[in-house]
Amino acid sequence: MSVTAAKGFTAAGVAAGIKESGTPDLALVVNQGPNLAAAGVFTSNRVKAAPVLWSEQVLKGGQVCAVVLNSGGANACTGPLGFQDTHATAEKAADALGHSAGEIAVASTGLIGLRLPMDKLLPGIDKAVAELSPHGGEKAAIAIKTTDTVHKTAVAARDGWTVGGMAKGAGMLAPGLATMLVVLTTDADVDAAGLDATLRAATRTTFDRVDSDGCMSTNDTVLLLASGASGITPPQQEFADAVHAVCDDLARQLIGDAEGASKDIRIEVVNAASEDDAVEVGRSIARNNLLKCAIHGEDPNWGRVLSAIGTTSAVFEPDQLNVAINGVWVCKSGSVGEDRDLVDMRFREVRVTADLAAGSHSAVIWSNDLTADYVRENSAYSS
Amino acid sequence: MSVTAAKGFTAAGVAAGIKESGTPDLALVVNQGPNLAAAGVFTSNRVKAAPVLWSEQVLKGGQVCAVVLNSGGANACTGPLGFQDTHATAEKAADALGHSAGEIAVASTGLIGLRLPMDKLLPGIDKAVAELSPHGGEKAAIAIKTTDTVHKTAVAARDGWTVGGMAKGAGMLAPGLATMLVVLTTDADVDAAGLDATLRAATRTTFDRVDSDGCMSTNDTVLLLASGASGITPPQQEFADAVHAVCDDLARQLIGDAEGASKDIRIEVVNAASEDDAVEVGRSIARNNLLKCAIHGEDPNWGRVLSAIGTTSAVFEPDQLNVAINGVWVCKSGSVGEDRDLVDMRFREVRVTADLAAGSHSAVIWSNDLTADYVRENSAYSS
């Protein structure tokens, strides 16, 4: 399953010794063809990790034969020597696979500001190449975990062709909690331009609308590789739907495993004047620490939703705002609505609906509560 | 001291029964003249509490004879009836003091979305009027506390004239944690236009650069009242310096008492291309939950500083950024700098210096760490 659900892909996940714990830390995904078409989207953080700078260049060619991914170190803010390390990683994989380094993408995740132990990483690539298998998808997904408690995979099987993928991270795309790495594969026969358009459309409404803690990573990477091994070129909309379904599934899994979270918060902004307004309001609500604490405490504190909406530039009138929590309209016309005691917040998923009464557009943003466990997990030295 | 340090002011703080705890919850500050000049700045949140909407109108006249302040309820998101409550509060104080309601400012703090108990608040005004005293400043400062652990006052005494003030809140001006209410008084003879210019300049670099948790209040209010009772019109710069000193002192006290905080973080951005760039970068660092957790854990995690800088639109080159924590340059030229083990973070104040290497402007933003205590305090039902 995972990245090897689609025909034409092999993968492996091994323990190279990058992590002191000795758990798996190096994954390799190889496109066996016949096509090598690929697309990628990367963090919009202006401080980009070396593997992001490298892979952005690789993807400009529209061809990727393999992806090397490591956990145990982000290789971000490591200067020119860190970039040389990424280059050496691609060269090593190229040698082992008999390909050009210019078609090998690299992705890293872990602590910022530390060089990778290349004496362990490079031999790990040989080990991974030796273990490449059309059943290696699960092992690859396990090897890219950092603070993830479970590995994340998803598959959309269609009539003769398939889209599969793996993800790590408790985070997001535009803003990233920890590093989010995603590799999607398909055996559909789609060219690089088609992959690029499909991937951008899918990520815009999935990974890009996950906002767990508002912190943008230096390493976020989402790649889509197409082998064409099915021999089928699906109708464009069917392919887009399948890629979207896998992205949506993985994005939901990321939120469900966010660091320290006890609640998954689905924020739906409706009746906005534009989609941009809906997204801006949704993000503002998602990033309001006071609301995130209230939801942790199962307190339907709609005043904090209104104060978050009030900081945005979206079109609305304060006295026309309505807010529902788990379906109870606790705020109507900007003031007290239905009885807040009617709100049942015992379950992990909490739904916040903000009605801007300003138009017909909407958007959904996913977030998490803010917990003492989040603080503990991120206060530990060098976590 | 406090708001009664300057000549021409009386004040009182009483328990009106708004808070169920029975602690003081109503403050009254009266300008006895001869002048009634006043200026105010208010939250920039578009969802504004009734007392903010009221007081903004009052201040347009440039005259304030009294300020009624209550804790125990924010009177925000309470609709037209909530606005009537504020109006009734001003009318009641006007009757009791023999003034016009149009010169009485009102400020409220507490939970959003609940009507105030007017049957308790209005009699409380009579009680406060009866207790008005030129020594009532401390009691007034105590009566406006909510989650504050201490009351906050400051005084700048100059040659024959004085500026004094009180503040409540663990928050900020542009963005507000809980409601921040500040009343400043002076016996200097300064007109409303002079007060307005002075107050805006002072708040811009004090309260407005406090960013404890990025959450903007619906109720933030800062008022400056001038009685002229000293008969002295100070040189403009001297007056500005005194107002700035009192604002700076109170702002520092707010940070020092922020909800759940164990560290006060002084973020200085230097060598920025513009002051706006410096402020944008400072705020981005101040709002980075991952960094705030790291500082709580006494971890000099400079990678999180760089990832926060990378989300801004400020002028900088990633490979020219330098970051110091408590004076140790742990990041140089965007990469590993001095040994992080040299950083001593045992003390409450932590200094983060971000050098953008892009110009000659700078700014200081004050923030706090993110702690399990903050989560607990803000997870409690209806806190």
Last residue of a domain, one of A256, A272, A294: A256
Which one of B112, B310, B375 has the shortest CB-CB distance to A372? B375
The structure tokens listed for B147 are: 């989650």
CA dist A267 and A361 (Å) reads 14
| Contact state of B297 with A45 under an 8 Å Cβ cutoff | no
Count CB-CB contacts under 10 A for residue A348: 12
What residues of A are labeled active site? 179
Q: Is the ipTM of this complex over 0.90?
A: no
Predicted pLDDT at A43: 86
Judge if B119 and B218 occupy the same domain: yes
A23 is in an annotated binding site: no
Answer yes or no: are the C-beta atoms of B187 and B36 closer than 8 Å: no
What is the average pLDDT across B49-53? Answer: 94
pLDDT for B171 equals 54
Judged on CB neighbours under 10 Å (0-12, 13-18, 19+), A361 is middle
Q: Are residues B115 and B66 in the same domain?
A: yes
Structural domain that includes position B305: 264-379
What would the two tokens of residue B276 be?
A: 């706006």
Q: How many domains does chain B have?
A: 2
pLDDT at res. A113? 87
Measured CA to CA, the distance from residue B102 to residue B61 in angstroms comes to 8
In terms of phi and psi (left: phi > 0; alpha: psi -120 to 50; beta: otherwise), the region of A163 is: beta
- Known catalytic residue at B179: yes
User: Residue B146 sits in a domain of what CATH number?
Assistant: 3.60.70.12
A-chain residue closest to B114, CA distance:
A336
- Final residue of a domain: which of B256, B290, B318? B256
Q: Using a CB-CB distance cutoff of 8 angstroms, which residues of chain B are in contact with residue A296? A: 375, 379
Say whether B198 counts as a known binding-site residue. no
Do B224 and B329 share a domain, yes or no? no
> B57: distance to nearest CA of chain A, Å?
18
- Report the run of H or E that residue B82 belongs to, with start and end: helix B79-97
- Closest chain A residue by Cα to residue B330: A113
Non-local (6+) Cβ contacts of A235 within 8 A are: none
Judge if B285 and B367 occupy the same domain: yes
Count Cβ atoms below 10 Å from residue A98 Cβ, excluding itself: 7
Residue B153 sits in the same domain as residue B288: no
- pLDDT for B176 equals 53
For B308, the token pair is: 């926060």
B259 is in an annotated binding site: yes
Overall average pLDDT of the B107-111 stretch:
90
Q: Is B367 known as a binding-site position?
A: no
Q: Are residues A191 and A340 in the same domain?
A: no
* Cβ contacts of B47 on chain A, cutoff 8 Å: 306-307, 309-310, 318, 321, 334
Chain A partners within 8 Å of B298 (Cβ): 381
Structure tokens that stand for B220 in this block: 């933030």
Which of A303, A374, A381 comes nearest B299 by C-beta?
A: A381
CA angle B196-B200-B202, nearest 5°?
A: 115
CA distances from A105 to A56, B268, B360 (A): 8, 38, 39
Neighbour tally for B19: CB within 10 Å: 21
**Mean pLDDT value across chain B:** 92
Contact A307 B214 (CB under 8 A): no
Which residue of A44, A46, A332, A381 to mutate against B (max B Cβ within 10 Å)? Answer: A46
pLDDT of residue B383: 46
Looking at beta carbons, which residues of chain A come within 8 Å of B214? 287-289
Q: CB–CB of A163/A243 below 8 Å? A: yes
pLDDT at B289 over 60: yes
Query: Which of B256, B281, B296 is the C-terminal boundary of a domain?
Result: B256
Distance CA A315, CA A319 (A): 12
Question: Could you tell me if B212 and B367 are in contact, meaning their C-beta atoms sit under 8 angstroms apart?
Answer: yes
Percent helix, strand, coil in chain A (nearest 5)? 35, 25, 40
Give me the pLDDT at residue A5, please. 95
Closest CA to A294 of A343, A250, A252: A343
pLDDT at A173: 55
Give the residue carrying structure tokens 């039902």.
B381
Nearest to B310 among A47, A321, A378 (CB): A47
Out of B179, B186, B353, B371, the active site residue is B179
Residues B54 and B114 both lie in one domain: yes
Measured on CA atoms in the order B249, B251, B252, B257, is the torsion positive or negative? Answer: positive
Indicate if B11 and B62 belong to the same structural domain. Answer: yes
Angle at B184 between CA B183 and CA B188, to 5 degrees: 150
Site from B220, B283, B322, B335 to mutate, A interface, most A CB atoms within 10 angstroms: B335
Residue B116 has a pLDDT of 97
Q: Which residues pair with B133 in a beta bridge?
A: B11
B280 alpha-carbon distance from chain centroid: 19
CATH of residue A308: 3.10.20.340
Q: Which amino acid is at A295?
A: I
B350 touches B325 (CB < 8 A): yes
pLDDT of residue B235: 95
- Res. B57 pLDDT band, cuts 50 70 90: very high
A383 is in an annotated binding site: yes
CA-to-CA separations, A186 to A170, A349, B122, B136, in angstroms, rounded:
24, 31, 71, 75
Query: Does residue B296 carry a pLDDT above 80?
Result: yes
What secondary structure, in 3-state letters, does A251-290 show? HHHHHHCCCCCCCEEEEEEEEECCHHHHHHHHHHHHCCHH
Same domain, A173 and A306: no
Assigned token pair, A222: 């989402």
- CB nearest to B78's CB, from A77, A216, A335: A335
For residues B162 and B235, state if they share a domain.
Answer: yes
Taking contacts as CB-CB distances below 8 angstroms, the residues of chain B near A113 are: 302-303, 306, 331, 335-336
Tens-digit pLDDT profile for chain A (383 aa)? 799 999 999 999 999 999 999 999 999 999 999 999 999 999 888 888 999 999 999 999 999 999 999 999 999 999 999 999 999 999 999 999 999 999 999 999 988 888 999 999 999 999 999 999 999 999 999 999 988 889 999 999 999 999 999 999 865 555 555 578 999 999 999 999 999 999 999 998 888 888 877 777 888 888 999 999 999 999 999 999 999 999 999 988 888 888 888 999 999 999 999 999 999 999 999 988 889 999 999 999 998 899 899 889 999 999 999 999 999 999 999 999 999 999 999 999 999 999 999 999 999 999 999 999 888 888 875 54
Q: Could B112 and A46 be called an inter-chain contact, meaning their C-beta atoms sit closer than 8 Å?
A: no
Of the candidates B13, B269, B41, which has an alpha carbon nearest to the alpha carbon of residue B133?
Answer: B13
B328 phi and psi, to 5 degrees? -100, 120
Copy the structure tokens of residue A127.
Answer: 């080990």
Q: Do A141 and A282 share a domain, yes or no? A: no
Report chain B residues whose CB lies below 8 A from the CB of A310.
Answer: 45-48, 216, 218
* Phi (first) and psi of residue A70, to 5 degrees: -130, 145
Asked if residue A194 and residue A51 are part of one domain, the reply reads yes
Residue B62: CB atoms within 10 Å: 17
Nearest to B77 among A82, A334, A383 (CB): A334
